[in-house]
Amino acid sequence: MPDLLLDTNIISFALKSDSRRLLYDAHVAGRRTCVSFMTVAELYSWALGRKWGQARTNDLLIELDRHVALPYDDALAWAWARVRTI
């Protein structure tokens, strides 16, 4: 099965123990899951902006370690920009 890119919301469901995460379990099962640099940055921003404590920030880092963080390069940034302007 191909890799699966997870959106920020999917990761946030796991962090919050939100039952909506269960809607995605069948799609994620047996697949290598990935997150973009943008998802990582958004989640870090949440932790800083919402003044998460060390324990909750550690939970975030543990969750992110479950996924492959896709590397960023200039071509990716341009591709993202093109998608956003469609």
Q: In what order do the strands lie in the sheet with 33-35?
A: 4-5, 33-35, 68-69
Could you tell me the domains of the chain? 4-84 (3.40.50.1010)
| pTM passes above 0.85 | no
Tokens of 39: 């998802």
What does the pLDDT look like over 6-54, one tens digit per residue? 999 999 999 999 999 999 999 999 999 999 988 998 999 999 999 999 9
Q: Classify burial at 10, counting beta carbons within 10 Å of its beta carbon; exposed 0-12, middle 13-18, buried 19 or more.
A: buried
Task: In whole angstroms, give the CA distance from residue 25 to residue 70.
Answer: 21
